[in-house]
Structure 1
Amino acid sequence: MRGAIFAIIGSMRPSPNTKWFRRIALLAGSLFMSTAQASDKPLLEGEIGMVQSIVDGDTLFLENGLKVRLSAMQAPKLPLGRPEVKAWPLSTTAKKELEKLALGQEVQLYYGGLQRDRYDRALAQVFLLDDAGEKTIWLQEEMIRRGYGRVYTWPDTWQDSERLFAAEREARAAERGIWGRDFYKIRTPEPNNLSQDMDSFQIVEGIIVSTAKVRDKMFLNFGADYRTDFTVFVTKEGQRRFKKAELDLMSLEGARVRVRGWVEIQNGPTMILDHAERLEILD
């Protein structure tokens, strides 16, 4: 058994030219930044302004020119001039839905942790304001509740994730918006089907068959054969975050869970897990 586990580690060591290696490197940079900048403090009040234009279902411009990315959610993507990106189903509808909610409205930004990304977009929770300047609708929560976004957390920002997950469950149960399309359906760990989703963000639900930890690496295995079955790789920094959240990953053998992230192929389909909010324990 010990030899088999070390075989896993060796077989998962990629060459520097693979997409897997590049994604690990990008995550490592993000994790370092999150360690330095993430905060457990309440959200900080940010800019107030009128929404001048909508880019897509999770991005907008304020009248002062500030580009705002609605943090902790992912709406269907539009190409936006990128030839390598195909429009996701309902991407135009999601943009129109955000226009109906926010265009021409006064909003206030709130920050938890990292405030700007590498594109200089504000990473914020965005609330509509009424005539008295009081918060009314939380745009992220409302877009997810209407079925035009999925919860998409990162370790370097903070938000009320429980409310977002509740809104997502409500929309999914009612098959609103994206949840009526196979493109966004929750996946099973079945490796042949999941392999078709390479390089896409997915939510996968299944039972953890076994867990393994070797040195600073941890694996959650969703099948008996690590060479072909779906496996979740938990980063070293991710393990520290789970420990801080008082979640013992090694005790999850036999648990039904839901994980979300980008699907890669390394042996079988694989997903990187770097913080607790991307894992839901169902039973």
Structure 2
Amino acid sequence: MAVATVVLAMPMSPAAACEDLVDGPKGVVASVTDGDTVVLDNGLVIRLIGTQAPKLALGREDFAEWPKADAAKVALEALVLGQPVRVRHGGERIDRHGRTLGQLFVTGATEAWVQQQMIAAGWARVYSFPDNRACVTQLLAVETQARLDKLGIWADPYYLVRRADRPDDFAGRQGYYELVEGRVLLAEKAQGRVYLNFGRSWKSDFTAVIDKAALGLFSKGGLDPLKLEGALIRIRGWVDENDGPRVEITHPEQIEVLRAP
């Protein structure tokens, strides 16, 4: 059963963008903090939900700035700085830092869906949350094309899609956000979780773990992750180390089915 479908697409007009969003605040972009955060002239800090741009240090000590972070900020500035915009919500509206969350649309003479444009140009990756899952299908489509065309960040090996059947490639990548592709060798449920195993050694091979709360979201969508056994999939998430490298799946949009079993 397909959890998410990848469709190659050209950037769409704002009028054809994700539907069922709720209008939120508007203003003029006064400054750009980084490739996925802007500040409006009314003081609101807007986090471009659904995207993850390369991270700048922004004064944090001992923080290793991600490659192409400056270029991503410049790209966002070119798109929105000084422009009138509106935020539209499709999930949680405020994060724990007090930032406004939503899809951002330029509403001036040249209209643009900002997240879609940044991803299509290769300056951000799709990055969703259990409580903010709107528009992911459309954003995945343009991310796929940007990656195939090696645009922006996709020309840098730092953002390489990792292979699940090469666990040694994850050495030193704990705490990193990664895209990982591989064929699920075994899907099994134990202690309320589903484990997607990509190798025969559960002590050392790469694994994706779907927790109990996430299984509820799968069920609501009529999706059964146990049916992913034998499927070629791409997952995205933060890598940790627990009996080999693994990624925790908190919602279905972290999984794209590339080839069904």
Q: TM-score, normalised by structure 2?
A: 0.90
Q: In the TM superposition, what whole-angstrom CA distance separates every residue of 1:223-251 from its partner, at most 9, and x where no partner exists? A: 00000000111010111111112221111
1:256 is aligned, of 224, 228, 232, to 232
| Residues 1:96 and 2:74 are matched in the alignment | yes
* Cα distance in 1 for residues equivalent to 2:130 and 2:216: 12
Q: Which SS does the other structure have where 1:124 is aligned? A: strand
Partner amino acid, structure 2, of 1:108:
R
Q: In the TM superposition, what whole-angstrom CA distance separates every residue of 1:1-32 from its partner, at most 9, and x where no partner exists? A: xxxxxxxxxxxxxxxxxxxxxxxxxxxxxxxx
Question: Superposition pairs for residues 24-173 of structure 1, below 5 Å?
Answer: 42-131=20-109, 136-173=111-148
Q: In the TM superposition, what whole-angstrom CA distance separates every residue of 1:83-141 from its partner, at most 9, and x where no partner exists? A: 1321100000000000000000000000112111010000110000024xxx8211000
Q: Which SS does the other structure have where 1:88 is aligned? A: coil
Measured on the aligned residues, the alpha-carbon RMSD in Å equals 1.2
Tell me which residue corresponds to 2:217: 241
Q: Which has the higher contact order (CA 8 A, sep 6+)?
A: 2
* Cα distance in 1 for residues equivalent to 2:122 and 2:134: 19
**Same amino acid, percent of matched pairs:** 39
CA positional deviation for 1:50: 0.2
Show structure 2 runs of 5+ residues with no match: 1-18
* Cα distance in 1 for residues equivalent to 2:158 and 2:236: 15
Q: Residues 55 and 61 of structure 1 are in contact (CA less than 8 Å); yes or no, is this contact kept in structure 2?
A: yes
Q: Which SS does the other structure have where 2:172 is aligned? A: helix
Q: Residues 47 and 100 of structure 2 are in contact (CA less than 8 Å); yes or no, is this contact kept in structure 1?
A: yes
Q: Residues 56 and 91 of structure 1 are in contact (CA less than 8 Å); yes or no, is this contact kept in structure 2?
A: yes
Q: Residues 261 and 272 of structure 1 are in contact (CA less than 8 Å); yes or no, is this contact kept in structure 2?
A: yes
| Structure 1 runs of 4+ with >3 Å offset | none
More helix by share: 1
CA positional deviation for 1:158: 3.5
Q: Residues 201 and 262 of structure 1 are in contact (CA less than 8 Å); yes or no, is this contact kept in structure 2?
A: yes
Q: In the TM superposition, what whole-angstrom CA distance separates every residue of 1:159-202 from its partner, at most 9, and x where no partner exists? A: 21121011101101110000001000100011111233110000
1:206 is aligned, of 138, 163, 182, to 182
* Cα distance in 2 for residues equivalent to 1:272 and 1:280: 15
Higher CA-based Rg: 1
* Cα distance in 2 for residues equivalent to 1:145 and 1:227: 38
Show structure 1 runs of 5+ residues with no match: 1-40
Tell me which residue corresponds to 1:183: 158
Q: Which SS does the other structure have where 2:219 is aligned? A: helix
Tell me which residue corresponds to 1:27: none
Tell me which residue corresponds to 1:230: 206
* Cα distance in 2 for residues equivalent to 1:208 and 1:130: 46
* Cα distance in 1 for residues equivalent to 2:125 and 2:97: 22
Aligned length: 240
Q: Residues 261 and 273 of structure 1 are in contact (CA less than 8 Å); yes or no, is this contact kept in structure 2?
A: yes
Tell me which residue corresponds to 1:266: 242
Partner amino acid, structure 1, of 2:32:
I
CA positional deviation for 1:217: 1.6
Q: Residues 188 and 194 of structure 1 are in contact (CA less than 8 Å); yes or no, is this contact kept in structure 2?
A: no
Q: Residues 195 and 268 of structure 1 are in contact (CA less than 8 Å); yes or no, is this contact kept in structure 2?
A: no
